[in-house]
Amino acid sequence: MFLILFGAPGVGKGTQSEKICAKYNIPQISTGEILRAAIVKNTEQGRKAKILMDKGELVPDDVILGIIDKRIVQDDCKNGFILDGFPRTLRQAREFSVLLEKHKIPNFRCIEISVPDEVILERLGERGRDDDCRETVLKRLRIYKDQTAPVKEYYKEKNAFYSVDGNKPIEEVFNQIIELLVD
Ligand code: AMP
Report the CATH number that the domain containing residue 111 is assigned in CATH: 3.40.50.300
Q: Is 12 in the pocket of ligand 1 (CB under 6 A)?
A: no
Query: How many Å lie between the centroid of ligand 1 and the Cα of residue 183?
Result: 31
CA–CA distance, 85 with 58 (Å, rounded to integer): 11
| Interior angle at CA 88, CA 30 and CA 84, nearest 5 | 25
* CA nearest neighbour of 67 among 105, 31, 103, 26: 31
pTM of the model: 0.94
Domain count, the chain: 1
Q: Quick one: pLDDT at residue 126?
A: 81
Q: For residues 56 and 137, what is the distance between their CA atoms, to the nearest angstrom?
A: 7
Identify residue 183 by its one-letter amino acid code: D
Q: List residues bridging with 164 in a β-sheet.
A: 113
Is 7 a pocket residue for ligand 1 (Cβ < 6 Å)? no
Q: Whose CA is nearest to atom 19 of ligand 1?
A: 86
Which helix (H) or strand (E) segment holds residue 3: the answer is: strand 2-6
For ligand 1, the distance from its centroid to the CA atom of residue 53, given in whole angstroms, is: 7
Report how far residue 127's alpha carbon sits from residue 182's, in angstroms, rounded to the nearest whole number.
Answer: 32
Pocket test for ligand 1, best of 13, 50, 88, 131 (most atoms within 8 A of CB): 88
Residue 34 is part of which domain span?
2-181
Per-residue pLDDT reduced to its tens digit, 110-152: 999 999 988 988 888 787 777 778 888 899 999 999 999 999 9
Residue 60 has pLDDT above 80, yes or no: yes
